[in-house]
Amino acid sequence: MTALYDELRPVSAEQHYRVSHFLNYEYRLLDDERFDDWLALMHEEVHYWMPGIENRRRENRLEHGFYAADHMAYFDDSLRDLGRRVARFQQPSAWAENPATRNVHQLTNVEVYYGETDGEYIVHSTFQSVRSRGLDEEYVIYGRREDLIVQDGDSFKIKKRLILIPNATLTCKNINTFL
């Protein structure tokens, strides 16, 4: 979002509370491995995108600076793709998920703005995902997020999610969670 602050359209304190509460709830579902409930929060046209980060010089910037839509990505998912990832987590033969990974997802710096159409909200935030496996493995992923969420009755659905980590090399072997 490139608009200057006085051109932005932040939502009311009450609406801000509702949206950020929803996103905190979403993260708790992941910590509790309630993947089906989590998947139900996704819009049927969801685009869940976490591009690969490329360490380029300023004069050689890509489409979006350090990432591009047609380049490799960690996630570039539709609802079907997310469903397949969830299906793997739920297999008894997902050997590397048993014992379970213990997750803590945190969301901070939440800014909520009105979107282009009624009932759409643009949410900027930062996140921290801490995972621990086995006795002593710990992996922390920090990043910035931009979500497009839409009102759905008394709740919301996630229609777009852009996840940007600062790292050009992931400092762990995998991302066996959602961010």
Partner 1 sequence: MGNMIKTIDVTDSLTNLKDACDLENGRISGKIFYDKTIYEQELEKVFARCWLFVAHESQIPKTGDYITTTMGEDEVIVIRQKSGGIKVFLNACPHRGNKVCFAESGSTRGFICNYHGWSFNVEGNLVGQHESGVYEDSDFDKSQWGLKEVAKVDSWKGLVFATFDPESPSLQEYLGPMTWYLDALFDNQEGGTEFVGGCIRSTYECNWKIAAENFVGDILHAGWTHDSAARAMLGGAVAKVSDFEESYSVNWNGHGYEFALDTVGNVAVLGESALNKYLHTIKPSVAERLGDFRSNMIGSVSSCTIFPNFSFLPGQNTVRVWQPRGPNKIELFTWVVVNKSAPEEVKEKWRKGAMMTFSPTGVFEMDDGENWEYCTKTARGRVTSQQDLFVGLGMDTLLTDTPLPANVYEGQLNEANSRAFYQYWFDMLNAKSWSEVPDRNLGKKEAE
Mapped onto helix, strand or coil, the DSSP state of residue 10 is strand
Number of residues binding to partner 1, judged by CB under 8 A: 40
Distance CA 58, CA 70 (A): 19
| Footprint on residues 27-46 left by partner 1 (CB under 8 A) | none
d(CA 157, CA 67): 26
Among 10, 24, 34, 72, binds partner 1 (CB under 8 A): 72
Q: CA-CA distance, 60 to 3, in Å (whole number)?
A: 24
Residue 92 or 153: the one with the smaller Cβ distance to partner 1 is: 92
Compute the distance between CA of residue 148 and CA of residue 124 in angstroms, rounded to an integer: 9
Closest by CA position to 125, among listed 24, 13, 15, 18: 24
Residues 77-106 that bind partner 1 (CB under 8 A): 77, 81, 84-85, 87-88, 91-97
**Per CB under 8 A, 56 contacts partner 1:** yes
Residues 121 to 140: which contact partner 1 by CB under 8 A? Answer: 133
Residue 68 in contact with partner 1, rule: CB under 8 A? yes
Residues that bind partner 1 (CB under 8 A): 50-52, 54-57, 59-60, 68, 70-77, 81, 84-85, 87-88, 91-97, 133, 168-176
